[in-house]
Amino acid sequence: MKVISEYGNEEVAKVYVAEMRKVAGKKHLVEFVESVQPPLPREEKWVLIVSSMFGCPIKCLMCDAGGDYAGKLTVDEILQQVDHMVSRRYPDRKVPVSKFKIQFARMGEPSLNPSVLEAMARLPEIYNAPGLNVSLSSIAPKTDLARRFFEELVGLKEKIYPGGRFQLQFSIHTTDAEGRYALIPTNKWSFEEIAAYGTRFAHPETGDKKVTLNFAPVKGYLIDPHVIRKSFDPERFMIKLTPLNPTVRSKERGLTSAIDPEDRLTSDHLVEAFGNEGFDVVLSIGQLEENRIGSNCGQFIQRALDGSSRPTKSYELNRYLVNNAD
């Protein structure tokens, strides 16, 4: 792995762009991220976000990684991302962080890459990190490969990450079936199938975290909390609301966030409506500087560099020298 660019703020987030392979003269690039959560110091919470694919085959309407799929990362290529971020701060690989969280949520749909499972299994062998937690975000693709992945994930969680050390998240975004397919244009689990799996996977009564249902509300796409309540038990599922990231693709498709990160009143009605259905609700609004850094999930620096259309309030692209790398 060759890190060819990095940019960010040590006190907020840093994005790394690395060349993993060069095949027939074409660079295979990935992004990975480290972030903190002010005002918490790094010693209390440190989050690493890694990629599992070169681009992504799903082509979600708002995600800049989609449409440039060039294959899956190997186990070693996944772990190299983690190790780069860890070793520059903790060369002895002893990580004295109360909550050391590794998220499989940057580029790629992790359930379509079995190497993610092996990478998760090997992390505790590599790092002396009592606070190690892992998180996986998925759109729940309906394929045989993903089905086998999720079946194995149940055992892995119970064996290696019990007692609330695993956070599983499904990206939902809208309760309208046609709208959900428009935003995530692939065959995927129904709400009932996600609910059935989540009920098997997480057991809050034994300390497991509730399964997260993630919504990045988009204007024009319905979110009806009552529909979610029909399928999902608030005792086992929680809701996460986050603004739509300002990506190149979202600008090209005319997608507008229904939550303004600068005006939290725009989210009050959804927070209240989901709360009235009995759900725990997390409103996840990061610092606006994360947009300029490009550290938010779903952004893809290479697309922004190559494209003619760029989102406002996002990507300080002059800081990235990816195209000029040898």
Tens digits of per-residue pLDDT, 13-65? Answer: 888 989 898 887 676 888 899 999 888 999 999 999 999 999 889 989 888 77
Cβ burial, residue 308 (10 Å; 0-12/13-18/19+): exposed
> What is the spatial distance between Cα 263 and Cα 261, in angstroms, rounded to a whole number?
6
**Residue 302 banded pLDDT, cuts 50, 70, 90:** low
Residue 321 above 70 pLDDT?
Answer: no
Question: If you average pLDDT over residues 212-236, what whole number do you get?
Answer: 97
Which residue ranges form the domains of the chain, and what is each CATH number? 2-324 (3.20.20.70)
- Mean pLDDT over each residue of the chain, to the nearest integer: 88
At 252 the pLDDT is 82
Mean pLDDT within 311-326: 51
Please give the Cα distance from 3 to 227 (Å, whole number).
45
Taking 80 as the threshold, does the pLDDT of residue 317 lie above it?
Answer: no
Q: State the angle between helix axes of 144-160 and 115-126 in degrees (0 to 180), rounded to the nearest 10.
A: 20
| Residue 325: pLDDT over 50 | no
Residue 301 pLDDT grade (very low, low, confident, very high; cuts 50, 70, 90): low
Question: Residue 57 has what pLDDT?
Answer: 92
Retrieve residue 101's tokens: 């969280």
d(CA 140, CA 186): 10
247-262 residue pLDDT tens: 778 888 899 989 888 8
**Reduced to 3 states, what is the DSSP secondary structure of residue 240?**
strand
Q: Residue 85 above 80 pLDDT?
A: yes
Share of residues in the chain with pLDDT > 90 (%): 64
Predicted pLDDT of residue 296: 58
User: Residues 118-130: pLDDT tens digits?
Assistant: 999 999 999 999 9
Q: State the Cα–Cα distance between residues 256 and 177, nearest whole angstrom.
A: 19
Question: Does the pLDDT at position 289 exceed 60?
Answer: no
Instruction: Give the model's pLDDT for residue 326.
Output: 47
Which pLDDT value is given to residue 221? 97
| CB atoms inside a 10 Å sphere around CB 284 | 13
pLDDT at 313 over 90: no
Tell me what pLDDT residue 6 has. Answer: 83
Q: Which residue has the higher pLDDT, 297 or 98?
A: 98
Helices 75-89, 115-126: inter-axial angle, 10-degree rounding: 30
Q: Compare 98 and 316 and report the one with higher pLDDT.
A: 98
Which is more confidently placed, 113 or 66? Answer: 113
Q: What is the pLDDT of residue 312?
A: 54
